[in-house]
Amino acid sequence: MKVLILPDEQAAMQRAADIVARTVTATPDAVLGLATGGTMLPLYEALAQRHREDGLSFTKTTSFNLDEYIGLAPDHPCSYHSYMQEAFFRHVDIDPARAHLPKGDAPDPQAASLEYEALIAAAGGIDLQLLGIGQNGHIGFNEPTASLGSRTRVKTLTTSTRRANQRYFASFEDTPRYAITMGVATILASRACVLLATGDAKADAVMRMVEGPLSAACPASALQLHASATVILDKAAAGALTFTDYYENVHPGGRDSAFD
């Protein structure tokens, strides 16, 4: 894992934006894996700004989001379809026909999950997967004890995840219990992945992901098996790491010779 520690949230987010921009510029028809969550909002803003001001184009790009709540129609204001529309898609030139999310309102969510995997395969797999991390170590909605060999499927959300996401809904009871999510093995099959984490609430999960044992108890720790995983942190999210001197020695100031 490459661990890049940036001075603050803004710098971390710009570093992640650099990697997306370089991927899309080098390979305009790249297949991106996209993530939701509060952490990603400033990243999407930065990419939209680069689209407006620097001509960064997504016209040939294909995207697949990690997850979607079950039971929410795409036009539900709390769906991840709506999140992506508002945060990113409507601000850039991506072709809506190539911007995919799991169908949370499908009559048969398990069948929809298998179709989603097939769609990713038909697109040639994911070139660059963006990831956030839950405070409990989840990636996508792969909650603790998720199979590390899992593919896109239905997952039951933990109470802690529902509580963390309750702020977007009217109440805890209104917060969905189930989601369709790419599996851990789906994520590991991406050719490269970038996980962005900011703030001290993520410090413990980040430590378990990077330096903890490889365990389904922390699904993000499966990224230790990924051949090209970059973890981009601000100082707060890096606060519980042990080998910080080493990371800063290898990547001073969060620089990475592959991108600088």
Residues noted as catalytic? 67, 136, 138, 143
> From the DSSP assignment, how many helices (H) and strands (E) are in the chain?
8, 10
- Residue 35 binding ligand GLP, by CB under 6 A: yes
- Residue 42 binding ligand GLP, by CB under 6 A: no
Name all contacts of 119-126 with Cβ < 8 Å and 24+ positions apart: 119/64, 120/31, 120/64, 120/152, 120/182, 120/186, 123/31, 123/62, 123/64, 124/31, 125/31, 125/189, 125/190, 125/191, 126/31, 126/32, 126/33, 126/64, 126/189, 126/190, 126/191
Is the Cβ of residue 104 or residue 140 nearer to ligand GLP in the bound state? 140
CB of 28 to ligand GLP, least distance (A): 26
Residue pointed to by tokens 């042990």? 242
- Residue 132 binding ligand GLP, by CB under 6 A: yes
Beta carbons of 78 and 168 less than 8 angstroms apart: yes
CB of 27 to ligand GLP, least distance (A): 24
Is the Cβ of residue 62 or residue 165 nearer to ligand GLP in the bound state? 165
CA nearest neighbour of 59 among 84, 34, 94: 94
Q: Exactly one of 161, 175, 186, 221 binds ligand GLP (CB under 6 A); which one?
A: 161
Is the Cβ of residue 138 or residue 251 nearer to ligand GLP in the bound state? 138
Report, in this order, helix, strand and coil percent for the chain, each rounded to 5: 40, 15, 40
Q: Which stretch binds ligand GLP (CB under 6 A): 37-45, 93-101, 146-154, 185-193?
A: 37-45
- The CA distance from 239 to 112, in Å, is 40
Is the Cβ of residue 61 or residue 165 nearer to ligand GLP in the bound state? 165
CB of 80 to ligand GLP, least distance (A): 8
Site string for ligand GLP, 237-256 (x = CB under 6 A): --------------------
What is residue 254's DSSP assignment?
G
Q: Exactly one of 61, 150, 165, 175 binds ligand GLP (CB under 6 A); which one?
A: 165
- Residue 126 binding ligand GLP, by CB under 6 A: no
- Residue 67 binding ligand GLP, by CB under 6 A: yes
Q: Which stretch binds ligand GLP (CB under 6 A): 4-12, 130-138, 208-216, 229-237?
A: 130-138
* Secondary structure (H, E, C), 135-183: CCCCECCECCCCCCCCCCEEEECCHHHHHHHHHHCCCCCCCCCEEEECC
CB of 138 to ligand GLP, least distance (A): 7
Q: Which residue ranges make up the site for ligand GLP (CB under 6 A)?
A: 35-39, 66-67, 132-134, 140-141, 161, 165
